[in-house]
Structure 1
């Protein structure tokens, strides 16, 4: 039986320890800031990006990895006869899955490309569980079945502090953005079925806190939580409030807190805060 290796794009919210432990190959996305291209995990970090975005003359532009980067990763992973499971972020926010699929047709390595319909720590939960299945002798199909199961039991909520980046990126109209700024509208988004949906909106942080409390109540009274993460874009004040409440619900679980990746931060803007978890 050939060995199976996992390749993932850099939007996966994996820690360096997890990447090493499960031998994950990361293919980086890139971001252009004022004409200069930066490569995630190579020439720019998640922690550096918010300040660079804040000081940029215009909204940064993100792009999926070049097809050649995936081909190189697949060739290298398959050099010893291994097959590859390539996990990418959801297609609704990036064309990464399509680049990986094209690369899979150009390599001699046997590659299965899977759109995990999530990103960040939600993507990491799936990859880690898939890696465990593979370590136990499972097939690529077994690993994908496990990822689908984790996805069905996952939640991803994202609070947006302001809509400026969504306006600049053409995601919403300038009028809607100006109106929301005037009325101090905050938005809570939820990711499901591989798409971003508006869960709620209201005036001021009080509305967001009320929505977080409702989400946390659902979390506390639902199935046992197996993994949890909080990602943000320079949103530490909100993170600390959220982390304290989550820790009270899941005192035995480590909470991975991290600045999110540039492709997410570009859309959400500064102050965004995201809760991701999965259950039994």
Structure 2
């Protein structure tokens, strides 16, 4: 039985320790800020990106890895006869999965299996980590894919956007809706589900934020949650406090609180945050 290696893209929310421990290959996206390009996670880190986004005249742009970059990685990783399981961010936010699929067709379609996670950030990480652990436990590709499917079905990703400007500029919300929301100082609760980004709540001021947090904490308290991710843009202290609240409810629950990826930060803007978790049946 050939070895299976795990590949993902840099929209993933993984610690350096997780990447090293599970031998995960991360293919980076490119970020362009005021005409200058950076390789995500290679020559710009997340905190630096946020600072540059604050100072930039235009909305930063992120670009999927080119087909040739994926092909080069795939050729290197399959040279020893290994199979690849490639888990990418949702197609609704990026063409990354299409680049990966085209590269797989070029290199070795029988050995390279590309999956749209339908998520991003820590929600993507849950699938990547469970896949890596399944492979390490000696599971077959089919068994690993079944585990990934189950994690995907049991994942919740909701976020609060406190300033809708970036979503409007990026074309993620209708311009008319956006203008009204900006005029009224509306904060929005968004959900990523089945590759779609939908508004599931909205309101003025901090009331909607408090309601969102209380709702998520209640879900975490009452459901069989296996892991939690808190991803944010430039509000570390508040999110550290939120992590403490979760640990008060469930002291042993793994929680990763971290600055989000440039792909997410570009669209959500400053002050946004997500509470992401997945459950066991």
Q: Deviations over 1:11-45 (max 9, x none)?
A: 11111111111111110011111111111111111
Q: Deviations over 1:141-172 (max 9, x none)?
A: 21111011011111111110100101211223
Size of the aligned set, in residue pairs, is: 279
- For 2:220, what is the secondary structure of its paired residue? helix
Q: Match of 1:91?
A: 91
Q: Match of 1:56?
A: 56
> Does structure 2 conserve the Cα–Cα contact (< 8 Å) formed by 1:97 and 1:113?
yes
- For 1:159, what is the secondary structure of its paired residue? strand
Q: Match of 2:214?
A: 213
5 Å matches for 1:63-74? 63-74=63-74
Moved over 4 A (4+): none
Q: Match of 1:182?
A: 183
- For 1:278, what is the secondary structure of its paired residue? strand
Q: Match of 1:199?
A: 200
Partners of 1:92 and 1:218 lie apart in 2 by: 26
Partners of 1:244 and 1:117 lie apart in 2 by: 29
> Does structure 1 conserve the Cα–Cα contact (< 8 Å) formed by 2:231 and 2:275?
yes
TM-score under structure 1 normalisation?
Answer: 0.95
5 Å matches for 1:1-280? 1-108=1-108, 110-222=111-223, 224-280=224-280
Structure 1: which 5+ runs fail to align?
none
Structure 2: which 5+ runs fail to align?
none
Alpha carbons of structure 1 residues 275 and 60: separation in structure 2 relative to 1, 3 Å: same
Distance apart, 1:196 and its partner CA: 1.3
Partners of 1:166 and 1:187 lie apart in 2 by: 11
Partners of 1:36 and 1:206 lie apart in 2 by: 39
Partners of 1:207 and 1:241 lie apart in 2 by: 18
Alpha carbons of structure 1 residues 179 and 108: separation in structure 2 relative to 1, 3 Å: closer
> Does structure 1 conserve the Cα–Cα contact (< 8 Å) formed by 2:232 and 2:274?
yes
Partners of 2:227 and 2:173 lie apart in 1 by: 33
Distance apart, 1:278 and its partner CA: 1.0
> Does structure 2 conserve the Cα–Cα contact (< 8 Å) formed by 1:30 and 1:40?
yes
Distance apart, 1:266 and its partner CA: 0.5
Q: Deviations over 1:104-154 (max 9, x none)?
A: 011147100001111111111111111111111112221111011011111
- For 2:182, what is the secondary structure of its paired residue? helix
Distance apart, 1:238 and its partner CA: 3.5
- RMSD of Structure 2 on Structure 1 (CA): 1.4
Partners of 2:250 and 2:151 lie apart in 1 by: 18
Partners of 1:137 and 1:167 lie apart in 2 by: 46
TM-score under structure 2 normalisation?
Answer: 0.95
> Which segment is superposed worse, 7-16 or 175-184?
175-184
